[in-house]
Structure 1
């Protein structure tokens, strides 16, 4: 093939592409904010594993972590940042391009 365009997998972001982080960003993009306990259950992660993935995403400014209370209970929520939305959109676009080439 003589196409000069980069291969679609070159557009994948290693921080976003990891399956649990992709799941976190996808779920977070579907609402204003999401409770961490919901993510843990939905993605079938341990608290420690989820915490590590959230730290990676927060360090990359792809999610913001909010701590507070709901009644007397301490809660933690995350929300996707504008940079996170852009990274998720780019990841989905690269995956669509790859599927188009394959299909």
Structure 2
């Protein structure tokens, strides 16, 4: 039986990585936009992003736009690879081809 990445496997983190994987490599999304897309509270999203960031699956960058702070999130190369491995393992587990 294939191992499923425990960092991604938590429902909220799976939703986050799946949403970020829809972006082109190197493309980022703002924190409020990701929060809206996922329907998560800011605290819950922050907690799960921290775990993904600690695993180096996502990159979080903070900037100033005009006079307002902006936070951008993107899937790292490692995160994209781990998400692809995760989905392949899941397909294999469900009886599909890896």
Q: In angstroms, what is the RMSD of aligned CA positions? A: 1.3
Q: What is the TM-score when the length of structure 2 is the normalising length?
A: 0.86
In structure 1, distance between residues paired with 2:44 and 2:35? 9
Count residues in correspondence: 93
Aligned twin of 1:90: 85
Query: Map of 1:1-103 to 2, 5 A cutoff?
Result: 7-8=1-2, 11-31=3-23, 32-100=27-95
CA positional deviation for 1:54:
0.6
Q: Whose helix proportion is higher, 1 or 2? A: 1
Larger Rg: 1
CA positional deviation for 1:70:
2.8
Q: Give structure 1 regions of 4+ aligned residues with deviation exceeding 4 angstroms.
A: none
Stretch moving more, 50-59 or 27-36: 27-36
- Give ranges in structure 2 of 5+ residues lacking alignment: none
